[in-house]
Amino acid sequence: MSDIPVSDADLFDDEARLDPYPIYAELRDRGPVVLMARHGHYALPRYADVRTALMDWRTFSSARSVFVDEQMNANLEGITLCSDPPDHTTMRSVLGRPLRPDRMREITPTIEAEADHIVDRVVAAGRFDAATELAEHLPMAVVATLVGLGEGNRGKMLEWAAAIWDVQGPANQRFQDAMPQVEEFLAFAQNDAVPGRIDPDGWAAHLYQAADRGELPREKCPVMMLDYVTPSLDTTILGITSTIALFARHPEQWDLLRADRSLIPHAINESLRIETPVPQFTRVLTEDHEIDGVALGKGSRVALLYGSANRDERKYPDPDRFDITRKPSDHLAFGRGEHVCVGMHLARLEMSALLERLADRVARFEIVSEEPLINNGLRGFKHLEVTIS
C-alpha cells in the first residue's frame, strides 16, 4: 500500500482561484490521491481516477452532499445533486423532463431568435462586456423565464446562484459573506416560490404538479428549485465568456471555426475542457476502497477535481494548448455517470447558437480589459471587455 501524499495548498484562496493550474499539475504529479490538509479531505487530480469514481456511485456516494464544508453539506443533503438512487432517479426523472433533447427542439427557435438579437446588438456596439452584455443574455432572457419564478425575481436569481456556489467551498470569508443571500434564497424557495405565485407553466411549477400526481414527495419541491436556479445560469455564462476569451487569445482557432462550422461542437468541448466552469464536486466513500494502490477508509470525503482531470497530460497530450480540432468529447466538465449534467443539451444549444452567429459577423475579438470571477464553486470571468472587427 502506498503512503498518501499530503498537500498544504488551499484550492479556495484567491491565488488558487485565479490560477489553479500549477497546483493541479503538482497534485497530479504527487499521486492518484492527495490529502488536502487544509480542509481535511482527499482529492483525485487525475483523469482516469475521476472518471472511474464518477461511474461508481455505489462507492462514491453523493447522498452526504458534494460540497466541502460539512455543516453546509448537512444542510443541502437531499437535493437532486446530493442524492443517490433510488431517490436520485425519481427526482432526476422529474427535474430532467424540460431539459430532454426533444424538449430542446421546442425551445430552439426562441434561443435562436434571442441569439440573433443579442449578436446584432453587440456587433453594432463594436465594444462590449462579453460576460454581462453577451453571455448573460440567453440564460437570463430564456432560461430564467423558463424556470418561471416571476419577473420580479429574475434579477435576484443570479445573486442567489452565485451565493449558493460560494457556500460550496470551505467556510472562508467568501462563504460567510454569501450566507445572508443563501438564507434569503432558501426562505424564498420555501415560502414564496409556491403554486399560485409562480408561472404555472414554468419548470418550478411543474415540480409541484409532479408532486400532486404522486411522482415526488411534495417537501422535495422547494429544495429541488435549487437544482434549477443554481446550475442553469452562471455555468453557461462563464462557459460562453471563457470561450470568447480563448478565441480572442487564439485567433487562428477562430479562423478554423469560421472556415468549418462543423467544428463548433468540438470548440465547445475544448473550451469547457480547458476552462472548466465547475472545477470540482466531492463524494463520500460508502466502504473502504483502494484507488491505484492507495487505501481510503469508509466515510472519507473525496474531491473529484474536474478542472485538473481535464488538463491531465496522461489523457490529453499538451493539455494547456487550446485546439478545437482535438475533439475531446470525453472531457469531464459536465461530470459523468449518474449525475452527469442534466442541463448539458441546453448549455450546448445556447453556446452553439451564439458561436454560429458570431462566426458570421466577427473576424477578430480583442480583449480590452478583464476581471476574473472569484467564487468558491465557479471559475471564469466577471467582466471581459472586448472589441470586435
Beta strands in the chain (DSSP E): 6-7, 34-36, 41-44, 60-61, 127-129, 280-285, 289-291, 294-296, 301-305, 365-374, 379-388
Contact pick of 228, 247, 322, 381 for ligand HEM (by CB under 6 A)? 228
Name the residue nearer to ligand HEM (CB basis): 68 or 333: 333
Pairing of strands 280-285, 60-61: antiparallel
Report, in Å, the least distance between residue 64 CB and ligand HEM: 12
Secondary structure class of 182 (helix, strand, coil): helix
Task: By CB under 6 A, tell whether 281 contacts ligand HEM.
Answer: yes
Task: By CB under 6 A, tell whether 158 contacts ligand HEM.
Answer: no
Report, in Å, the least distance between residue 252 CB and ligand HEM: 24
Site for ligand HEM in 96-125 (CB under 6 A): 99
Cβ pair 275, 248 in contact under 8 A: no
Sign of CA dihedral 36, 42, 43, 44: positive
Look-up of cell digits 466577471 = 382
Which stretch, 193-201, 313-321, 337-345, 356-364, contacts ligand HEM (CB under 6 A)? 337-345
Tell me how many degrees the CA angle 211-214-217 measures, rounded to the nearest 5.
55
Contact pick of 41, 326, 339, 357 for ligand HEM (by CB under 6 A)? 339
Task: By CB under 6 A, tell whether 9 contacts ligand HEM.
Answer: no
Cβ pair 245, 367 in contact under 8 A: yes
Name the residue nearer to ligand HEM (CB basis): 82 or 294: 82
Report, in Å, the least distance between residue 242 CB and ligand HEM: 9
Residues in a beta bridge with 61: 284
Contact pick of 17, 41, 64, 92 for ligand HEM (by CB under 6 A)? 92
Contact pick of 35, 43, 66, 362 for ligand HEM (by CB under 6 A)? 66
Q: How far apart are CA 18 and CA 16, in angstroms?
A: 5
Locate 365 and state its grid cell: 475579438
Sequence-ordered list of residues with C-beta below 8 angstroms from that of 353, at least 6 positions apart, any chain: 111, 112, 114, 115, 138
Task: By CB under 6 A, tell whether 342 contacts ligand HEM.
Answer: yes
Say if residue 1 is exposed, middle or buried (CB neighbours under 10 Å; 0-12, 13-18, 19+). Answer: exposed
Which stretch, 205-213, 273-281, 289-297, 373-381, contacts ligand HEM (CB under 6 A)? 273-281
Among residues 337, 364, 334, the alpha carbon closest in space to that of 351 is found at 334
Tell me the three-class secondary structure of 142-171, residue by residue: HHHHHHCCCHHHHHHHHHHHHHHHHCCCCC
Closest residue to ligand HEM in the complex (CB)? 343
Which stretch, 34-42, 68-76, 181-189, 270-278, contacts ligand HEM (CB under 6 A)? 270-278
CA atoms within 13 A on the CB side of 165: 27
Name the residue nearer to ligand HEM (CB basis): 28 or 339: 339
Locate 114 and state its grid cell: 434571442
Task: By CB under 6 A, tell whether 301 contacts ligand HEM.
Answer: no
Task: By CB under 6 A, tell whether 32 contacts ligand HEM.
Answer: no
Report, in Å, the least distance between residue 209 CB and ligand HEM: 18
Name the residue nearer to ligand HEM (CB basis): 186 or 278: 278
Report, in Å, the least distance between residue 61 CB and ligand HEM: 11
Task: By CB under 6 A, tell whether 343 contacts ligand HEM.
Answer: yes
Name the residue nearer to ligand HEM (CB basis): 66 or 68: 66
Cα-flanking dihedrals φ and ψ of residue 114, to 5°? Answer: -70, -35
Task: By CB under 6 A, tell whether 277 contacts ligand HEM.
Answer: yes
Q: How far apart are CA 372 and CA 22, in angstroms?
A: 17
Report, in Å, the least distance between residue 288 CB and ligand HEM: 22
Task: By CB under 6 A, tell whether 310 contacts ligand HEM.
Answer: no
Instruction: Return residues touching ligand HEM (CB under 6 A).
Output: 62, 66, 80-81, 92, 95, 99, 227-228, 231-232, 235-236, 239, 272, 277-278, 281, 306, 333-335, 339, 341-343, 346-347
